[in-house]
Amino acid sequence: MSAPEFPNTPVSREDFPILSRVMSNGERLVYLDSGATSQKPQCVIDAQSRVELHSNGAVNRGSHELAAEATMIVEDTRELVANFVGASADEIIWTKNSTESLNLLAYVFDNVTRRANDQEVQDRFAILPHHNIVVTRAEHHANLIPWQELCLRTGAELRWIDLDDDGRLDLSTANVIDVNTRVVAFGHVSNVTGAVAPVTEIVELAHKVDALVVLDACQSVPHMPVDFTSLDIDFAVFSGHKMMAPTGIGVLYGKSALLKMMQPFLFGGSMVEIVTMEKTTYAKPPARFEAGTQPVSQIGGLGEAVRYLNAVGMDKIETYENELCEYLIQEMLKIPHVRILGPKDVKNRLGVVAFEVEGVHPHDVGQILNEKGIAIRVGHHCAQPIHQHFGVWSSNRVSLAPYNTCSEIDLFVDTLKTVRGFFGLGDEC
């Protein structure tokens, strides 16, 4: 295959040490699994190391220099991340990942339902048996199961917006949102199809009935400009490890006025105001929701990742990845017996492409690609309902990042063509 004229990557591949790795079979790594976990540039690795080497102290727990430096890292990064997603610093809460962020939210709703004496808080957050919570069939399990469980605990009904044949959200089924809807939770970008959700339309439907909107932004924040304030969502979550930062650090965004009304889920040090043997009062957000010692080096790494992404430019990243995704889809559509799960064009779509190879189990496809050093995701991608929508139990998935190249796509496509032949199903797919 002859690669077309293609722009250079918007980032320097030399910034990412792991991309030069030679795998155990002697093949050079081709990493096409950034939707699961992205790779880190050297500056992020160095930033995390600097914290451990020079500023390893407990946040808000001492007057010595190391503690002061650790606290400054945490709070400076909070401001940096807030600016990155169009928020205020007091609207950014540290968690360990998006799964924890979503569970935290669900349990806060549950706590309000059981405990809150403030009628205003009850009216805004309590989930009662006649209420419903709306999700979509496209959700990652982390944005489905916590709401399922909340409905089981409260007696509320779980409803969902369904999908069209391409796996995009079908707004004709959004009539499940009604006056009894309390929460509408959905992914900004599907981690299976790459389809971008119609956020404006769903937010308008939700807010019309005074429901709160929760946006899973894990697959959008690393790949496109995102402004939570402009989107007018109430809560959002995203994870550091999908945006060139370390694992173990996630973000929960909430509108300031809402966070002030909410009671905590985790209890302990740092999230309190006054504690007596009889009663405890809690700190203002975001500290109210950050019980315990914070992961300072991971937060420092996240801050450096945001600086790196800002320096490259999210507009450039989105444009480049869209061009790369379009080339990937065009080449995959030429291969017989390969079915793409999701839209076949790049309109309102990002660089996540799930697919199946007729007659070959996804794990076997993954193994053949691995023999060429190509890393992709195999399985149901923590999203079984959308796979059931497409009539399969699992799939393969390519997910792109700004460090991927056209030549890597060529190698992937050339190798994919050999899969069915390897299993005696034809010369090529």
- Which residue in 325, 382, 406, 429 is the catalytic one? 382
Whether residue 7 lies inside any domain: the answer is no
pLDDT for 116 equals 63
Q: Are 303 and 317 found together in one domain?
A: no
pLDDT for 117 equals 74
Q: Are 263 and 327 found together in one domain?
A: no
Please confirm, yes or no, whether 406 is among the known catalytic residues: no
Q: Are 172 and 278 found together in one domain?
A: yes
Whether residue 25 lies inside any domain: the answer is yes
Backbone angles phi, psi at 44, to 5 degrees: -70, -45
Say which range, 56-60, 282-286, 354-358, 389-393, has the weakest mean pLDDT.
Answer: 56-60
CA–CA distance, 411 with 1 (Å, rounded to integer)? 9
Identity (one letter) of the amino acid at 247? T
Say which range, 51-65, 122-136, 335-349, has the weakest mean pLDDT.
Answer: 51-65
CA–CA distance, 11 with 39 (Å, rounded to integer)? 12
Q: Are 340 and 294 found together in one domain?
A: no
Backbone angles phi, psi at 314, to 5 degrees: -65, -30
59 or 369, higher pLDDT? 369
Q: What is the number of alpha carbons within 13 Å of residue 258 lying toward its C-beta?
A: 23
Whether residue 42 lies inside any domain: the answer is no
- Tally of structural domains, the chain: 2
Containing domain of residue 403, as a range?
A: 13-31+313-422
0.75 exceeded by pTM: yes
Q: Are 234 and 93 found together in one domain?
A: yes
> What is the mean predicted confidence (pLDDT) over 271-286?
95
pLDDT for 61 equals 77
408, pLDDT greater than 90? yes
CA-wise closest residue to 183 among 115, 132, 241:
132
Identity (one letter) of the amino acid at 84? F
427, pLDDT greater than 70? no
Whether residue 40 lies inside any domain: the answer is no
Q: Are 255 and 375 found together in one domain?
A: no
Q: Using a pLDDT cut of 70, give the percent of the chain over it.
A: 98
Of 293, 310, 327, the one marking the end of a domain is 310
Tens digits of per-residue pLDDT, 14-42? 999 999 999 999 999 999 999 999 999 99
Whether residue 427 lies inside any domain: the answer is no
**Do 43 and 308 touch, CB atoms closer than 8 A?**
yes
Q: pLDDT tier at 60 (50, 70, 90 boundaries)?
A: confident
pLDDT for 5 equals 64
Whether residue 1 lies inside any domain: the answer is no
pLDDT for 1 equals 45
Q: Are 326 and 233 found together in one domain?
A: no
Of 264, 285, 310, the one marking the end of a domain is 310
428, pLDDT greater than 60? no
Q: Are 207 and 124 found together in one domain?
A: yes
pLDDT for 429 equals 46
Q: Are 298 and 326 found together in one domain?
A: no
Whether residue 103 lies inside any domain: the answer is yes
387, pLDDT greater than 90? yes
Give the CATH number, domain containing residue 396.
3.90.1150.10
CA–CA distance, 192 with 194 (Å, rounded to integer)? 6
Mean pLDDT, the chain, integer: 95
> What is the mean predicted confidence (pLDDT) over 244-272?
95
CA–CA distance, 429 with 418 (Å, rounded to integer)? 6
pLDDT for 3 equals 53
pLDDT for 289 equals 96
114: CB partners within 8 A, 6+ apart: none
Tens digits of per-residue pLDDT, 200-234? 999 999 999 999 999 999 999 999 999 999 999 99
Q: Are 96 and 23 found together in one domain?
A: no
CA–CA distance, 71 with 56 (Å, rounded to integer)? 10
Of 292, 310, 328, the one marking the end of a domain is 310
Q: Are 259 and 317 found together in one domain?
A: no
> What is the mean predicted confidence (pLDDT) over 183-187?
98
Buried b / exposed e along 361-387 (16+ C-beta atoms within 10 A): ebebbbebbbebbbbbbbbbbbbebbb
Q: Are 52 and 73 found together in one domain?
A: yes
DSSP assignment, residue 248? S
Whether residue 200 lies inside any domain: the answer is yes
pLDDT for 368 equals 97
Q: pLDDT tier at 288 (50, 70, 90 boundaries)?
A: very high
Give the CATH number, domain containing residue 200.
3.40.640.10
Q: For residue 261, what are its two tokens? A: 């009304």
> What is the mean predicted confidence (pLDDT) over 110-114?
79
Counting beta carbons within 10 angstroms of the beta carbon of residue 257, is it exposed (0 to 12), middle (13 to 18) or buried (19 or more)? exposed
88: CB partners within 8 A, 6+ apart: 82, 256
